Structure formats: structure tokens, C-alpha cells
Amino acid sequence: MAFTTLVVAGVLSPRILAPSCSLPSSGSVFFVLGAGGGEFRRHGPRRFVTPLRGGGCKGVGRRQNCHVLYCANEVNVVTEDDTMNDVADDESASDAETEENADANGDTVDALESSDPDEVGPVTWIEQQPLPYPSDALEPYISKETVEQHWGIHQHIHVERLNGMIGGSEWEGMSLGQMMLSSFNEGREAPHPPFFHAAQIWNHDFYWRSMQPGGGSKPSERLLKFIKRDFGSYDGMIQQFMDAALTQFGSGWVWLSYKGSKLPHVNSRSPIPSDNYGRLVISKTPNAINPLVWGHSPLLAIDVWEHAYYLDYEDRRADYVSTFLEKLLSWETVESRLKKAVIRAIERDGHVSRKHVRKQLLAQGKSRIRARPQQANENARGQTSSQEKPLGV
Amino acid sequence: MSKRTVELHWGKHHQNYVDGLNKQLATSMFYGYTLEELIKEGYNNGNPLPEYNNAAQVWNHHFFWESMQPESGGSPEGGVLQQIEKDFGSFTNFREEFICSALSLLGSGWVWLVLKREERKLSVVCTRNAISPLALGDIPIMNLDLWEHAYYLDYKDDRRMYVTNFIDHLVSWHTVTLRMMRGEAFVNLGEPNIPVA
């Protein structure tokens, strides 16, 4: 099929084997069954092969669509990778936990609109991840009561609502990350109903893991170098965090994320200027949005919904955020996420960026005598390895 | 609604909006506008200017405090009840719709009972963050703050209890009646009175 040959012609990276995407002109993205991708196993019935329109998509359009798949995969990596063992081992435990919570909070759960009373013995497609530390571990900065309320009840409500919502729909059986990205609806229109709950569950899991008891302190040297390069100084970064957190009107989140590349991997854009690829960026998002849908790789999340800090700090959001940054933040987690994010970005782009090549060369050059001019090599390397050059590198 | 909530809500949140707005107005082109003008102009047809949020929140909160009264609630009487029954079927329907609307709001916002100009009837709307029906062209009659700061200390995540208590015990139907009366000056709710020649 002409379609396939166009694809295989080398515009895309070898990871995609049998794509059949279409342009999102109707406002929705069709996911693909990758022949080799184990992550696609749990796709629901939402598979479409649509005929080409008007002579086929250009190469650029095709790339844009198919890279959404990468994001979905990456989301799995992000959520499940560092807690892969936890999820596998604790699935029974977390099942028990969610059941426990449901029982313990019998009154509150019933008082709220419970999702589907007909489904007794609820099927839990999605569960929230267990807390990586006991609920009073973040005292005195975040009280035990807040943690139990926030994780146990508030996040649990999202889990319940989501499970009630997706039964029998196209999202049934998807993993949390995939569900979140696929229901986002590319930001052009309102997201599909499960997005809010799925994203909030994901965001909260991410948030809990961004913290640790006895956290705070300074990041490692390597991370500090990134910070200095992208924000000027550690204090500059803190300042930007505070600004973002205090100007987020209404409910939302503040994120530190790694903006991988300039290439449009997803169709929704972030509102921050797009020439700072390959950098750390701080962004604020309303309600449940998270930077994954813009193609960034989040490194840490601060929940600035009022429920996150109201019991402990009442309306003093500034105190909450600065305490978070100084005393609770887990820089080790941030660093490990950054490592993965960089690797992911390189893989995703399908080629080695010039910067990376330069770094490699420099590293090689350091160990050898620099006899040849660096410039010529670097350009030559850049030309051959970046096949997507015309696409705006 | 506990004392601490009211102290914080009115004393800190509402006050902060006022202070913020004053600071903004000192250097903005909207200096000298009234609150309602600020809201209508600042909304800018969906692309709110920076002064909008503060101005709208000041107005919304003021409206909110006035929509409540200690130990009130229950159901309205007279004209308001008639109008509610006409537009919602029954008071119970209205109450249910109000509560459902409030619970369906995701994130921060407000839920309103408005008098719609075009449709010339009462209806329940919910708006996000600081959007106000004034900016959308309707006449607000009563509102409820669904930002988490309004109920988190008292009800934590139990929004349903908060809304139910508001409707059953706090909403001031006297104020609602007053506002309806004023609204009727702008919207003709009855049949037009066509004089017979």
C-alpha cells in the first residue's frame, strides 16, 4: 500500500512498524496497533484504519500523529518504570488498600455521588499507587491528616469516579497514562470525560513520589549544572517556581519538566516559548492538565489545588510552596527522572541531536589528542545523523 | 460554615483580591471604573485582562456574602417561588439541579442562579474560576462559592454536604427576592401587556 511505503521510506524512526494513523482533522487521534509494541496490548476497541485523504499525508503530518504513540509509551515508562516493582508486588496490597479505604470512609463515599451503584464488587481497572512513605512521614510540613485526606479520600474519589466511568467504553483496559493522553483530545476541544480523573490520579501519584520525608536540601552537582544553565541559578529557579505557583489562578499544578525537543511530537502546544528545547522548564497548568500532553517530560509536580495545603497553611500558598521546595522535595527522584527523560528524548527523536554529538566528540576528544578540527567533524556528523533536518531542527 | 472559614475567606481571600485589584488599578487604564464595568470590560469576550480576575472575585464574593443569612434557607415564598416553579417545575427540582450542577463542576468556580435575559427565565449555571454571569450578559440572583477555600476547612472533600447545607440553611431568599425584583426591571418575565385599542 502506498501508505506504508511512504512511511517506510525512512522519514520515521524504525520503531514504528505498521502505522495507520490519520491526520487529526476531526479532532481525535487514532491509535495504532504496533506490531512489536507490548504496550499496545491493552488497547480497547479504539483502532481505526482510515483511508488516506486527498493524496495522503505529508511526512510531517504523519510524524506528528505517530509520535503521540511514543508519548503514550513514555507515560507508561514514567509512571510504571520507577515503581514497576511496587506496582507488580503491591497490586494485591493496593487492592486491599483501596478496598479498605472504601470501607473506612463508608459515610463519605456514600454521601458523595458514587459512580455506579449497580456494580457491586467494583471492578477496579485503575488503582492509585500506594504512598511510598507512611502518612505521617511528611510532618510537620504536611500533616498526617492532610496526607490521609488528600491521598486516601480525595485521590480515591478520582479513582472511583474513573472506574465507574470507563466500564464498557473505549478506554476500558488502557493503562492510566495511555488513557490520560488519549482522552486529552489534543487540547483543541474539551477533553473527553475520563481525562480529568485519569490525569488527576496520575498527577497525584507523581506528586507523592516527588516528595520524601527529609527531602529538600540542594540538588546534586549534575542537576545543579542543568539548573544553572537553564535558570541562571538555583535561587532563580526557586523564584520562578514561586512566581508560577502564586500566579496560578484557581486550581492547578506547577511543574518542573524537561522539554525534550523542538519537534512536534504531540499536537497540543505548551504556552511557553518553544525555542528552549532540551532545557528544564517550569510551567503551571490549570486543573488537571499536565505537561506530558505538551510533549514535555515532567520531573516534579507541586499540587497547588487549595485542598493540598488548606488544612495546614490555610491561604498561605507561598509558605506551602517554599516549604515544599526546601524541605520535602526529593532531588534524587528528580534526577533519576531527568536521566530517563533525556534518554527518552533522544530515542524519541530518532536521531542523535547535534548537541549530543558535540558532547560525545568533546568527550572523545578529551581522551585523545585533538589533532583534527572539531568543527568539520561535527558538521559532517550532524548532517548524516539528522535525517529530519528539513523538519526544523 | 465555621467562624474560622468566614474569617479566612472574607478577611484573607476577599481582602487579597481587593488589595490586588487596587494595586493593579493604580497603574492600569481601568482606573476609575466601577466594579461592574471592570467585569464587563475586563472579560474582553473570553480573553480576560489581568484586572478581570481580581475584580470579578471581589464582586463575586460580595454577592456571595449577601446571598447568605444566618439560619435561613428553606424555600422561598411568593413571586420567587412561582417563578422557580415555572422555570424548574418545582422547588425540589431546582434544588436537585443546583446540587447536581455544583457537584459537576471540576476545579474551582461558582454556581449561580441567574435570570437569563434572552430566554427570560431563571436557570442554574456554573462558571469556572472567576467568570461571572455579568460578563456573559445575564442577571445573577444568587451564587455559591465552589472554590475549595470556601469549604475545605469545614467539609474537606464532601462538597455535596456543603452545597446541601447552603441550600437548606444559609441561602437568603429575602435577598433573592430583592434581586429578582430589580432584575424584573430589565427582563420582562410575564406576558407583554399589549394594550387593546
Task: Report chain B's mean pLDDT, rounded to a whole number.
Answer: 86
B148 touches chain A (CB under 8 A): yes
Q: Note the pLDDT tens digit of each residue in A148-172.
A: 888 888 888 888 888 888 777 777 7
Asked if residue A372 lies in contact with residue A385, where contact means CB atoms within 8 angstroms, the answer is no
pLDDT for A197 beyond 70: yes
- Residues A57/A23, Cβ–Cβ less than 8 Å: yes
Give the residue, A259 or A7, on which the prediction is more confident: A259
Cβ of residue B117 closer than 8 Å to a chain A Cβ: no
pLDDT of residue A36 exceeding 50: no
| pLDDT of amino acid A169 | 74
Examine the pLDDT at A26 and tell me if it is beyond 70.
no
Q: Please state the rounded mean pLDDT for residues A128-142.
A: 83
Contact check, Cβ <8 Å, B148/A113: no
Question: What is the per-residue DSSP string for A124-168?
Answer: -S--PPPPSS-TTTTTTTS-HHHHIIIIIIIIHHHHHHHHHHHTT
Tell me the pLDDT tens digit for each residue of A304-323. Answer: 998 888 888 888 888 999 88
pLDDT band at B124 (very low <50, low <70, confident <90, very high): very high
User: Residue B118: which pLDDT band, with cuts at 50, 70 and 90?
Assistant: confident
The answer to whether residue A341 scores a pLDDT higher than 50 is: yes
pLDDT at B136 over 70: yes
Q: Chain B contacts of A106, Cβ < 8 Å?
A: none
Query: How much of chain B exceeds pLDDT 70, in percent?
Result: 98
Residues of A in contact with B161 (CB under 8 A): 111
Chain A CA closest to residue B161: A111
Question: Of A113, A195, A309, which to mutate for an interface test with B (greatest number of B Cβ within 10 Å)?
Answer: A113
Q: State yes or no: pLDDT of A54 exceeds 50.
A: no
Is B16's CB within 8 Å of A153's CB?
no
Average pLDDT over every residue of A200-211: 89
Residue B117 C-alpha, separation from nearest chain A C-alpha, in angstroms: 27
Question: Mean pLDDT for chain A?
Answer: 65
Res. A144 pLDDT band, cuts 50 70 90: confident
Pair A361, A381: CB distance under 8 Å? yes
Instruction: Please answer yes or no on whether B128 and A250 come within 8 Å at the CB atom.
Output: yes
For residue B137, pLDDT beyond 80: yes
Examine the pLDDT at B111 and tell me if it is beyond 90: yes
Higher pLDDT, B108 or A81: B108
pLDDT value at residue A61: 39
Spatial distance between the Cα atoms of A123 and A126, rounded to a whole number of angstroms = 9
Alpha helices (H) in A253-330, listed in sequence order: 306-313, 317-323
pLDDT, position A192? 78
Q: B164 to chain A: nearest residue by CA? A: A111
**Which of B149, B153, B160 lies at the smallest CB-CB distance from A111?**
B160
Which residues in B lie closer than 8 A to residue A306 (C-beta atoms)?
108, 147-149, 152
Of A113, A287, A305, Cβ closest to residue B103: A113
pTM of the model: 0.69
Contact state of B130 with A250 under an 8 Å Cβ cutoff: yes
What is Dmax (Cα atoms) for chain B?
A: 63
Do the chains contact at B108 and A315, CB–CB below 8 Å?
Answer: no
Name residues 65-104 of chain B within 8 A of A (Cβ). Answer: 103
CB contact under 8 A, B107 and A108: no
Residue A286, preceding bond cis, omega within 30 degrees? no
**pLDDT of A140 over the 80 cut:** yes
Tell me the shortest Cα–Cα distance from B185 to chain A, in angstroms. Answer: 34
- How far apart are the CA of A154 and the nearest CA of chain B, in angstroms? 7
Question: What pLDDT sits at residue A351?
Answer: 57
Q: Is B149 on the interface with A (CB under 8 A)?
A: yes
Higher pLDDT, A361 or A40: A361
The answer to whether A113 contacts B149, with C-beta atoms less than 8 Å apart, is: no
- Cell of residue A274, nine digits: 518553544
Picking from B4, B24, B152 by the largest number of A CB atoms within 10 A of its own CB, the best residue to mutate is B152
CB A156 within 8 A of CB A204: no
How many other CB atoms sit within 10 Å of the CB of residue B3?
7
CA distance A185 to A26: 10
pLDDT at residue A57 in the model = 34
